[in-house]
Structures are given as structure tokens and as C-alpha cells.
Amino acid sequence: MAGAGVKILNKRIRSVGNTQKITKAMKMVAASKLQRSQGKMLAARPYSHKLTELMQQLAGKADISDPLFEVRPVKRRLFIVITSDKGLCGSYNVNVIKLAQKAVDESIAEGVETEIYAIGRKVAKHFRKREYKVFEAHEEFGGSVTSDEGRMVGNNAVDAFLAGTFDEVKVIYSSFVSTMTQRPVDVPLLPIAPEAPEAAEGEEAAGPDYIWEPSQEAMFAVLLPLYLRNRVFMTLAEAFTSEHAARMTSMSAATQNAGEMIEALTLQRNRERQAAITSELLDIVGGANAL
């Protein structure tokens, strides 16, 4: 019996060891993807901040109107929800889908016709299974985004808003705070409502006075689509960076737990083996005394 117990424990130790190798490899892959994704996101931030500053200056100083700034009574709302295509990333998908489910249900309860623009296989599967209206779905991004993909998502949202298909577009995704912390957020995308630029010490609240060439209106027409596409791209980049961080953290914890389990099973196996040896010795001694 004891020998059989040792064999079973050896089998379990090998099984957990194989799982540990897999989780360790996944952790290393996630760490590599995180470094690449975070680098892309951080490299794009200065451009994004300057573009936002210019848009705030134009929207705040120029007498300019655009359909993308038009605030309409909300009768139809679109939620762009970003999750991963794959699992094994801890509570990343669960937290985003939980927030999205709450927001969608509240929107429907308000009497607003609501649809979901699903980015990621997990969110698409979740809302399709529950028979919610899915406006469009992308399940092939694979945890990374290109400028073309960001432009495609942005154009789809803009076209639907301008056509009057939706009166409001919001984005739900996981904001990247740090490698250990990702926070699901619900932010408006359309209509665009640029905030006033924050005043730096010694500056007026309106910010520096720019000279626009050829004109503010011409610059606005060029910068507006760039600004919107950049917002969508940065949102996708941040969401996928959060995904890789969550997966790396999850696989790191799984690898550590597997190591602790192997230690516990090894200790139990050694005790079983020691008990078996002790039992055999007692049998031998007992047999010798009987002779």
C-alpha cells in the first residue's frame, strides 16, 4: 500500500512539474510582450499629449463647430468593450466584462437602445451567449494593435456616429496603472468634449498663444481625425499592455504555487517512503524474533 502511495505521489509531482514548466514559459512570453507593448505605448504618449493640447487650444479659442462635437439626446448608445482573445490572465477579462455588463444593463434600463462593439474573443463570446446586440466584433487582434487597426476601429465608430446610428459612443477597457495594477474604466469617446487645458504655474488657463498657419479652421480639419484615431489607438495599446501585465502576474503566481505544491508533495512522498521502509524493517525484525 505504501509503495503504491509513493508511485501516485511521484506521478503527481511529475504532473505538477510539467505544468510549472508551461506556466513559467507563458510568464516569460508575457513579460516579453509586455515590454514590447509598454514601450510602444510610452513612445506614443508625447505625441498623444501634444496632439491633445493642440486640440484643446483649437476647440477652446476658435469659433469652430463639427458634427463630432454635437451633443444629441441619447436614444442609441454604443459600448466599445476591449478584452483579450485568450485566457490565463487572472481577473483581467472578468473585471472588464463585469463593468461592461453593468454599464450595458443600466443603459438598457434607461430606455436607451444599446449595442456592443466587441474587441476580443472573450467579450464577444460573453455578450453573444446572452443574446445582446453586437454591432461588430474583432477577435483577431491577438493582444497587439497597429495604427491601421486603430484607424479601422476609430473610423467604424465615427461613421456610425455621423450616420446617426448612435448618439453616444463609450469605451470600456482596462487602464494600465502599473505592472501589478490594472483598473477597468468606462470613458466617453463620442461626441468629443475636449477638456480645458490645465494651467501651469505662471501661465494663463488658456495656455500658450499659438500662431496657426494657414488658419485655425484648416488645422482643425486636419487634426480632428488624427486626434480621434490617436485616442482609439492609445486606448487599445493601453488595454493590451494591461492584458500582458495581468497574464505575466497570473503566470508568475501559478509558477510559484506549483513550486510550493511540489515541495509539499515531495515532503509527503518522503514521509510515505520512510513509513514504508520502517514497516519493512519491523517485519524483518519480527520475523527474525519468531525464528
Residue 168 burial (CB count, 10 A): 21
> How many other C-beta atoms are found inside a 10 Å radius of the C-beta of residue 47?
12
In whole angstroms, give the CA distance from residue 168 to residue 146.
25
Name the strand (E) or helix (H) holding 117: strand 113-119
Give the residue among 209, 188, 220 at the shortest CA–CA distance from 65.
Answer: 220
74 phi/psi in degrees, rounded to 5: -85, 105
- Which residues, in sequence order, are bridge partners of residue 79? 116, 170
Buried b (16+ CB within 10 A) or exposed e, 219-251: bbeebbeebbbbbbbbbbbbbbbbbbbbbbbbb
Pairing of strands 182-190, 168-176: antiparallel
Cell of 175: 487602464
Sign of CA dihedral 26, 31, 33, 37: positive
Q: Of these residues, 26, 30, 58, 89, which one is catalytic? A: 89
Buried b or exposed e, range 130-167, using 16+ CB within 10 angstroms:
eebeebbbbeebebbbeeebbbebbebbbebbeeeebb
**89 is known as an active-site residue:** yes
By annotation, the residues acting in catalysis are 89
